[in-house]
Amino acid sequence: MKMKLREVYSALKITAENIPDVQITGVCFDSRKAKTGDLFFPLKGDRDGHEFIESAINNGASASIWQKDHQITNKAIPYVVVDDVMTAFNTLAKYYLSKVNPKVVAVTGSNGKTTTKDMIASVLAVNNNVAKTPKNFNNDIGVPFTILNMPINTEVLVIEMGMDRPGQIEKLSTIATPDVSVITMIGEAHIEFFGTRDKIADAKMEITHHLQEDGMFIYDGDEPLLNERAQNVQQKISTFGRNDSNTIFATEVHSDKQQTTFKTNLWPEIEFSIPIMGDYNVNNAMAALLVGQRYHIKVENMQKALSELYVTENRTEWLKAKNGADVLSDVYNSNPTAASEVLDNLKKLSTGRKIVVLGDMLELGDASKRLHESLADHIDPKDFEKVYLVGNEMKALYDLLVQKYDPTNLSWYSSDQLVQLTENIKEEMNSDDTILLKASHGIHLENVLKELI
């Protein structure tokens, strides 16, 4: 980002005299991360962001937004007084997006959106200056933040869009107005707030509502809910999946601990390789290939980009425990589709003893008990020698697995027993074991992971 403070006033349609000659090179909303050149937005969270303006000043912020119903108490830096901080945040993001004018690729889905975002960015970076959503900054704050912090020379912006309520992606799409919209899949994530997969599909389709007229919609063509709704999309459509009715479909899929390889109908002689486990990641890669094809990336370059992929941490990441055991970390997020897929892929690996540590899958509402119980179909003593379950919701799965497992190989813990869980895993873990850790972030299995590695 690069603009004078007077340009910020202009973008927000605020008239003022004697505007200080201050250069703005970025925005921030976390006062602890403020630096010289930053415009601080005191967004409201659990606490009013205005309480942290002093901290932002001390850390180097060059200017700050200030909501007019708050009294200015520190005039050490210039302030831009606005009616509403969040509205100003979105307005400035739309202005800056229009100024830089990159192509925008927006990605959503119940599972795989962060990995797909990383894959798309990797493929497009072959021929373009690409910026992308950092980490999982995919919500009402994360999307405008991503836009406002993209470099001025960005040619393609890859934005991840998450949701936990109807209308959220509609709002984000209004800001981003994508040139390409991608839906990875429809699962049960956030079903607590939507009730049915049909309503989840409706909410995900909001990503097409502000798609450019000459844009493209790319989605999982094996999903009937999306095929039905795609009939109302006027823009060009491409699909990916396993059925041969899709624009691109996979053949010859092979996966091991370190990589997954596959071929496709579009380039039958070319084998693609992605450096992550799980044949479910092939769909994500095919979505990236369709985006790359849309932007005329040569297939050989896309092949190389996927093979050199760097994936956002804590998403199906292989690590080493202190004693040498292999740890498959997926501690940031979990839902029934993702959990069952990683379990099914892990059991295929030719390794030593396999151990799984599963924590609650959150935001499943009234369907939570049934969906946790559904994982029992994917867990068997012949595949996983030891199973550790964590959280109140996982008790339902435990009650089913006791019918399969010897009591010495099945354990359940409440979410406040992570220290005990960690100690028990350490006592049982051998150097040649393979251990999966997967849970919603609210269970904080990252604390267990930290102690293991």
Q: Which residues are annotated as a binding site?
A: 109-115
Distances (CA, A) of 428 to 19, 205, 431: 65, 46, 10
Q: Provide the angle, in degrees to the nearest 10, between the axes of the packed helices 113-124 and 281-294.
A: 40
Name residues whose C-beta falls within 8 Å of residue 71's C-beta, 6 or more positions apart in sequence.
none
Q: Which residues are annotated as a binding site for ATP?
A: 109-115
Task: Write out the two tokens for 423.
Answer: 């100690």
Q: How far apart are CA 65 and CA 79, in angstroms?
A: 6
Token pair in block for residue 412: 């359940």
Cross-strand partners of 326: 320, 434
Cα-flanking dihedrals φ and ψ of residue 442, to 5°? -65, -15
Residue (of 339, 111, 338, 341) closest to 204 by Cα position: 111
User: Cβ distance 418 to 390 under 8 Å?
Assistant: yes
Reading the block at residue 260, the tokens are: 């997954």
In angstroms, the CA 162 to CA 140 distance is: 9
**DSSP E strands: which ranges in 234-289?**
236-241, 248-255, 260-264, 272-274
Residue 351 phi, psi dihedral angles, 5° rounding: -135, -175
Query: Under a CB-based contact definition with an 8 Å cutoff, are residues 292 and 156 in contact?
Result: no
Which of these, 411, 441, 442, lies nearest to 427 by C-alpha position? 411
At residue 364, the 3 state secondary structure works out as coil
Contact 209, 229 (CB under 8 A): no
Spatial separation of the C-alpha atoms in residues 243 and 227, rounded to whole Å: 13
